[in-house]
């Protein structure tokens, strides 16, 4: 289970970095990587042998998923706002 904990840590770290760097452009990638890291962290900490790397990967993955989800909500809100503004502008010119 040591390899699973290490994989969780690596995915959690990568997803956190990507969430902070690419969160406004592509929030889907860190969200998916964070969820995979979350699953690996949970599976590595099952049983009697608890791993510090798995716990760290689990925590990093949770933080990355939360940040990515917030950026995704912001992205969808902005997309809806722009779509409404375009519809209103096009309606004022008699295009629709």
- pLDDT tens digits, residue range 24-80? 788 889 999 999 999 999 998 887 777 889 899 999 999 999 999 999 999 889 888
**How many CB atoms sit inside 10 A of residue 94's CB?**
6
Provide CB contacts within 8 A for 38, sequence distance 6+.
Answer: 8, 12, 58, 61, 62, 65
pTM: 0.82
Q: What is the pLDDT of residue 95?
A: 61
Which of the four pLDDT bands, split at 50, 70 and 90, describes residue 89?
Answer: confident
For residue 22, the Cα-to-chain-centroid distance in whole angstroms is 10
């Amino acid at each position: 289970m040591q390899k699973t904990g290490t994989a969780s840590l690596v995915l959690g770290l990568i997803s956190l970095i990507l969430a902070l760097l690419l969160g406004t452009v592509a929030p889907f990638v860190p969200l998916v990587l964070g969820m995979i890291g979350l699953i690996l962290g949970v599976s590595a900490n099952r049983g009697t042998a608890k791993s510090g790397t798995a716990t760290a990967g689990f925590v990093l993955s949770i933080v990355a998923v939360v940040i990515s989800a917030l950026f995704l909500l912001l992205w969808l809100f902005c997309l809806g706002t722009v779509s409404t503004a375009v519809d209103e502008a096009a309606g004022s010119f008699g295009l629709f």
